[in-house]
Chain A
Amino acid sequence: DAGVIQSPRHEVTEMGQEVTLRCKPISGHNSLFWYRQTMMRGLELLIYFNNNVPIDDSGMPEDRFSAKMPNASFSTLKIQPSEPRDSAVYFCASSFAGNDEQYFGPGTRLTVT
């Protein structure tokens, strides 16, 4: 298995631009998580899905952030418009629901100038 796949690995964009991050979970996993990691705040859960349905999006910082999971093998996290304070590493993770081992992707390093 290739593990959790994220793209792009690096993204540099200007303030105000739309950013779309992509994630392909491990085949067969039915829970998917989006996290943001910064030095100051550590790893923060943004949103998670069970069986493609958003369960808890209370970690989404503001309306500029949105996430979708149209099918079991694909999810997106969109930021529109992006701001410099959104600069961080964004991780996607997947697991079997109820299993505590989350498998993380390699992350997308986002820089907003």
Chain B
Amino acid sequence: QKEVEQDPGPLSVPEGAIVSLNCTYSNSAFQYFMWYRQYSRKGPELLMYTYSSGNKEDGRFTAQVDKSSKYISLFIRDSQPSDSATYLCAMRSTGNQFYFGTGTSLTVIP
């Protein structure tokens, strides 16, 4: 079983829709949770960061962590064509090694 599981999609939504992206994980020691956004032929860039359980909101983006279920989510409100990218979840325990999901490809159609 992989440390982090993420549905690769692809996901296609109309502009203005609410998007929900999810990851599950198996290692209960993970404490730090991140979402990276990767545009085509670019490197990933950090989008959201949360520590332990709870919600974090930044503009149109909300990250949720449910450690009891080993489940994290990223919600995008009022999605825009510029949100079209691959979204990767990442997490780590107390060490410096990150574990990434395989990424979900999102297309927002104007």
Contact = CB atoms under 8 A, between A and B. Distances in A.
B49 A104 contact: no
B71 to A, nearest CB: 18
Interface in B86-110: 88, 92, 95-103
A105 B43 contact: yes
B45 interface: yes
Interface in B26-65: 32, 34, 41-46, 49
Q: How large is the interface on B (under 10, 10 to 19, 20 to 34, 35 or more residues)?
A: 20 to 34
Q: How large is the interface on A (under 10, 10 to 19, 20 to 34, 35 or more residues)?
A: 20 to 34
Contacts of A101: 46, 49
Q: Is the interface of A mostly helix, strand, loop or mixed?
A: strand
Nearest to B33: A100
B41 to A, nearest CB: 8
Contact of B32 (A100, A103, A104): A100
Contact of B100 (A42, A48, A50, A103): A42
Given A45-B98, A56-B97, A93 B49 contact: no
